[in-house]
Amino acid sequence: MGEGKTTGHPGKHEPGKGSAPHGDPKPVAGGDWARRLSFDLSTKTMGALVLVGVSFWLLVRLWPVLLVLVVALLVSGTLSPAVRWLEKRRLRRGLAIAIVFTVFFILALLFVVLTIPTLVSQSVVLLDREPAQRVRLADYLARSHLSAPLAVWLRGLKPDALTGVLGAAASAYSRRFLTAIALGVSALFLGLYIMIDRDRLRGGLFALVPRSHHIRLSRIMMSLETIVGAYIRGQLITCLLMAIFTFVLLLACGVKNALAIAAFAGLADVLPYIGPLFSVGPAVVAAMSRGPVVAIAVLLLMLAYEEFESRVLVPRIYGRALRLPSSVVLFALLAGGTLMGILGALLALPVAATVRMLIEELRVELPGEQEQIEDTRLREADDRGEEEYERRTEGVGVEQAAAIATEISRDRREEETSTPETVGETTESGKAVGKEMPTTPADKK
């Protein structure tokens, strides 16, 4: 942006007459000359402002498409470890991808077949029994003076009140639900194509970045894949614990179809904010068949577990998996939910872990930190890796260069994460040598 330029011509004039030369600003009271402030915007600045505006407009308009892309990247990052495991067993990559996605679709189909019909049938039965259940609950609440007004309110409800409310809610959310299903299926197939075209897509990304930064880019991509894997593992652990707790609780209460309801509760636990509603609701609805006392007990125990999970399990499990402090986990969830609702809370932890990873990988020096010996060693390792990459990729195409960068970064990752060989064993004389001998790719050869 151009600097503000103050223009004013002192001009020759007779004091007190207030006359101005031709082209000068008009005088003001007291004979002072008005100053004109102008901002000269360069063509480059104007173009940058227009580009920012167009980018923001495209972001708003293409937000659903970007969401599909994010989900597709999560799917690709989640299933890639299984594909690599099959590749190590000497299976071709195409066949490995086909096996992994086939198993994934079969498991998803089995889940839908085993849970959704059971939940729908139980909901229909509950609606048929709604008048009788409402009378039983009202009679139970009428025994206490504190709950007597609630009993009167239940008895005054019209028979079709609950059905009408549920029908209106189902009609309002049916379109959103179908849209979400369509976007989810699109994300799955986009993730499949991303895995199939991995080499070409990676080569195109590396072509946009100078070769001096290829090693760092490959390390960032590997770290992102690690973050996605850790996040998915955390989700699986919390969902499995929720399913086990729900199954044991419903089985102890004698509720039918406990396994299907527990599986649905575990899957719904993925969703923040509304997840507890879908986890607790079907369990309480199923427990209504055993009487209001059992239903209230199931409700209280499920709510207590939800609170325990959100306050204790989530910070510990995700903090350990994503290498984030428990306080940062809770703050990220609150901030993401406040800014973007359910989607923000769902993506808050991967984003927080990504920010932390970028600070580490880009070697960002924070104001309050001083360079340590470990930082110097990492910078020297970066320089050695870049020199090796430049030597091995001289005259090589971008796709092959990207593969070499990934190989170098993976070797270094294994070197950093592997347990260093420490010559610290106690000798017969009682002395120990504490020098560490890290394993290098050259040593492996």
Q: Residue 443's pLDDT is what?
A: 41
Strands 36-39 and 435-437: unpaired
Phi–psi pair at 105, nearest 5 degrees:
-65, -35
**Among the ranges given (126-135, 239-248, 254-263, 387-396), the one the predictor scored with the smallest mean pLDDT:** 126-135
Residue 274 phi/psi, 5° resolution?
-90, -10
Of the pLDDT bands very low, low, confident and very high (cuts 50, 70, 90), residue 180 is: confident
Nearest one of 278, 222, 198, 218 to 246, comparing CA atoms: 278
Mean pLDDT in residue range 218-234: 86
Can you tell me the distance from the alpha carbon of 360 to that of 323, in angstroms, rounded to the nearest whole number?
12
Percent of the chain with pLDDT over 90: 10
Q: Is the pLDDT of residue 82 over 80?
A: yes
- pLDDT, tens digit (0-9, with 9 covering 90-100), for 334-386: 888 888 777 788 888 888 888 888 888 877 777 777 777 777 787 788 788 88
Instruction: Please state the rounded mean pLDDT for residues 45-71.
Output: 85
CB neighbours of 370 closer than 8 A, spacing ≥ 6?
none
Query: What's the pLDDT band for 7 if we cut at 50, 70, 90?
Result: very low
The span from the CA of 183 to the CA of 66, in Å, is 11
Under DSSP, the state recorded for 310 is: I
For residue 16, is pLDDT > 50?
Answer: no
Strands 36-39 and 421-423: unpaired
Spatial separation of the C-alpha atoms in residues 282 and 294, rounded to whole Å: 14
Distance in angstroms (rounded) separating the CA atoms of residues 158 and 442: 80
Residue 115: predicted pLDDT: 79
Average pLDDT of the residues in 188-207: 90
In b/e form, how buried is each residue of 259-273, taking b as 16+ CB within 10 angstroms? Answer: ebbbbbbbbbbeebe
β-pairing verdict for 421-423 and 435-437: antiparallel
| pLDDT surpassing 80 at residue 27 | no
Highest mean pLDDT among 149-158, 218-227, 237-246: 237-246
Q: For residue 34, is pLDDT > 60? A: no
- pLDDT of res. 101: 92
Two tokens at 281?
């609701």
Which has the higher per-residue pLDDT, 164 or 228? Answer: 228
Query: In whole numbers, what is the pLDDT of the chain averaged over residues?
Result: 77
pLDDT value of residue 245: 94
* pLDDT exceeds cutoff 90 at 102: yes
pLDDT of 284 above 70 = yes
More confident residue, 148 or 261: 261
CA quadruple 321, 324, 326, 329: dihedral positive or negative?
Answer: negative
Of residues 279 and 141, more confidence is placed in 279
Model pLDDT, residue 4: 44
- The answer on pLDDT for 5 being more than 70 is no
Q: Kindly give, in sequence order, each residue whose CB lies less than 8 Å from that of residue 52, ignoring residues fewer than 6 positions away.
A: none
Which of 122-126, 299-303, 360-364, 439-443 comes out lowest in average pLDDT? Answer: 439-443
Taking the C-alpha atoms of residue 21 and residue 25, their distance in angstroms, rounded to an integer, is 9
Residue 162: the pLDDT is: 57
289-332: pLDDT as tens digits: 787 788 889 999 999 998 898 888 888 888 887 888 888 888 88
> What is the reported pLDDT for 350?
87
* Stretch 36-60: mean pLDDT: 78
**Residues 140, 146, 149, CA angle at the centre, nearest 5°?**
75
List the one residue out of 441, 379, 438 whose CA is nearest residue 404: 441
Compute φ and ψ for 423, nearest 5 degrees. -85, 80
Q: Determine contact, residues 349/331, Cβ cutoff 8 Å.
A: no
Which stretch of 102-116, 120-134, 315-329 has the lowest confidence by average pLDDT? 120-134
The whole-number average pLDDT for the span 406-419 is 78
